[in-house]
Amino acid sequence: MSNITFTMIKPDAVKAGHIGGILDKICAAGFRIKAMKMTKLSMETAGKFYEVHSARPFYGELCEFMSSGHIVAAILEKDNAIADFRTLIGATNPAEAAEGTIRKMYATSIGENAVHGSDSDDNAIIEGNFFFSGLEKF
């Protein structure tokens, strides 16, 4: 089991001024920041990142949204990182997310849901490498 996950604070949460609140929750939950940057995806880079969802009906909408503003990308470290981070962020749809989760607090819809969290150890590595070089991970 790896102890790494990858996250993005999505454009909706960045625009709404929630970077600080979200990072506070992440750090309070015991995650260590291994890498972090603010950046902006193009339609093309968003399309590559979410290629696994390319057959899903919301793919176009997802890429439009994810390239609509700045994001904060980060690699996080903690024991049981994947599962613990998914618990911290809550269900994909904020209407179904548990009380106190990041998506319950900050997300507005199933599409504009404030944060990304990797769904497997393998994807955490792939996603982290998508954004960060070896020189940017600590």
End-to-end CA distance of the chain: 20
3 binds ligand GDP (CB under 6 A): no
C-beta neighbour count of 50 within 10 angstroms: 17
Give CA–CA dist 15/38, Å, rounded.
12
45 binds ligand GDP (CB under 6 A): no
Give CA–CA dist 122/69, Å, rounded.
27
Q: Left, alpha or beta for 124 (phi > 0: left; psi -120 to 50: alpha)?
A: alpha
The one segment of 11-19, 24-32, 57-65, 76-84 that binds ligand GDP by CB under 6 A: 57-65
Active site residue 18: no
113 binds ligand GDP (CB under 6 A): yes
122 binds ligand GDP (CB under 6 A): no
Min dist CB 111 to ligand GDP, Å, is 3
Please report, as ranges, the residues that interact with ligand GDP according to CB under 6 A.
Answer: 53, 58, 61-62, 92, 110-111, 113, 116, 119
